[in-house]
Structures are given as C-alpha cells and as structure tokens.
Amino acid sequence: EAQVTQNPRYLITVTGKKLTVTCSQNMNHEYMSWYRQDPGLGLRQIYYSMNVEVTDKGDVPEGYKVSRKEKRNFPLILESPSPNQTSLYFCASSLDGRLYNSPLHFGNGTRLTVT
C-alpha cells in the first residue's frame, strides 16, 4: 500500500531533550516536506526537500533540523525542544515539488507535547 509513515504518533517529552520524528514513504517520491499544525494558524511548512541531499527552509524552520540522505526517509530533528514546539506535525511527499501531476500524500501526524 502506498503510504507515508510517521513515527511516533504521540510523543511527550521535556524541554531540552533531543528527539527525532521519523518519516518514510514507499512511493519513490522526489519531494518530501514537514509541517506543523496549530489551531487558527493552519499548517505551516517547516522544511522541504526537492530531492536527496537537497533541503530548504519553509516558513518556520527555527528550532528544527532535517536531513535527506535517502530518497524514502526525511526525519525531523528537534535538538533542544521547547514548549512552543508543542504541536501536531505532518510529513508529506509527492512526485515533485510543483505538485502538477501528483498530490501531496500526508502521513497520519505526530502529536508532540513538550513540557
């Protein structure tokens, strides 16, 4: 089944403890991206990757890191989480970043709470 898999689904952590949220897709997509969703703000793009080893900042990259060493994986790293990073996070992928011929496929989300 074609899918984007995020892990974990739920995560509660403390301020400053490094964490990684994994994202993997099995559709051979070139494009992958991360978003956070907060009430009243919609989704905001954190980082995106047009291809392996190519990543760019979205609108809210501060406090996050990403890497794209393989086509299928695009982990999101929080080196020193803070309470303002408490949010619902989504990973998404597509054939390419123009989205002309392939829609974004979203993962099921990761709900992160930082205390």
Chain residues binding another protein by CB under 8 A are 31, 33, 35, 40-45, 48-50, 56, 58-59, 90, 92, 96-100, 103-104, 106-109
> Least distance from C-beta 80 to another protein, angstroms?
26
From residue 55, alpha-carbon distances to 68, 97, 102 in Å are: 7, 12, 20
| Closer by beta carbon to another protein, 32 or else 78 | 32
Q: Edge-to-edge, what's the strand order for the sheet holding 76-78?
A: 4-7, 19-25, 76-78, 65-66
| Closer by beta carbon to another protein, 39 or else 115 | 39
> Least distance from C-beta 27 to another protein, angstroms?
15
| Closer by beta carbon to another protein, 20 or else 106 | 106
> Least distance from C-beta 8 to another protein, angstroms?
16
